[in-house]
């Protein structure tokens, strides 16, 4: 096509790119749930946070509530100028607990960017039934 000029690639400013493409560097909180003996274990990926300041774990009315906030600041200085960038993110996750769980027995720990919450589950508590998915 003779009349069409080739366009140079346009680099969008970072905030504009994140607006249109989404911010893939800060995904939603990834959570894994499993049974370990008599405990329900919930693990949540939370890299780059201070668990003493940035994480809130609570249990209320049979629901485990996990909330985390991340604040990041980067600075770049060179002979031509100075640039800073701030990034904030807040994530929450609610998980319904089995009946009979005692809120005071729930424990949480943080190691290597992973929050682990252990919930002792009383014997006889309802265990979710696996449902087979039929192909149609």
- Please give the chain's pLDDT, 136 residues, in tens: 555 555 555 666 666 655 555 444 445 678 899 999 889 999 998 887 888 888 999 999 889 999 988 777 778 788 888 887 766 678 888 998 988 888 899 999 999 989 999 999 888 766 566 788 888 8
Closest by CA to 31, choosing from 19, 41, 16, is 41
Does any domain span residue 135? no
Does any domain span residue 86? yes
Task: Please give the pLDDT value at position 74.
Answer: 77
Q: How many structural domains compose the chain?
A: 1
Does any domain span residue 128? no
Sheet containing 81-96: give its strands across.
Answer: 55-60, 63-78, 81-96
Instruction: Report the C-alpha gap between 66 and 41 in whole angstroms.
Output: 13
Does any domain span residue 14? no
Does any domain span residue 8? no
Does any domain span residue 46? yes
Both tokens assigned to 67: 């909330």
Q: Residue 112 sits in a domain of what CATH number?
A: 2.60.40.790
pTM of the model: 0.64
Do 117 and 36 meet the contact criterion of CB atoms below 8 Å apart? no
Q: Where are the beta strands (DSSP E) in 16-129?
A: 31-36, 39-45, 55-60, 63-78, 81-96, 107-111, 114-120
Task: Please give the pLDDT value at position 117.
Answer: 95
Judged by DSSP in three states, 31 sits in: strand
Domain that holds residue 81: 26-120
Does any domain span residue 18? no
Instruction: Report the C-alpha gap between 2 and 49 in whole angstroms.
Output: 55
The HSE-up count of residue 75 (CA atoms within 13 Å, CB side) is: 3
Place of tokens 């100028």: 81
Judged by DSSP in three states, 104 sits in: helix
Does any domain span residue 127? no
Task: Please give the pLDDT value at position 127.
Answer: 58
């Amino acid at each position: 096509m003779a009349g069409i000029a080739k366009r140079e690639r346009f680099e969008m400013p970072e905030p504009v790119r994140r607006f249109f493409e989404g911010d893939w560097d800060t995904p939603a909180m990834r959570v894994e749930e499993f049974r370990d003996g008599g405990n329900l274990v919930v693990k949540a990926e939370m890299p780059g946070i201070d668990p003493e300041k940035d994480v809130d774990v609570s249990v209320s009315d049979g629901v485990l509530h996990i909330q985390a906030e991340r604040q990041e600041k980067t600075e770049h200085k060179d002979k031509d100028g100075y640039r800073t960038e701030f990034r904030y993110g807040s994530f929450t996750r609610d998980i319904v607990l089995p009946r009979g769980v005692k809120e005071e027995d729930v424990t949480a720990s943080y190691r290597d960017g992973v929050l682990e919450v252990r919930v002792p589950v009383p014997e006889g508590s309802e265990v979710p039934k696996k449902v087979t998915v039929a192909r149609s």
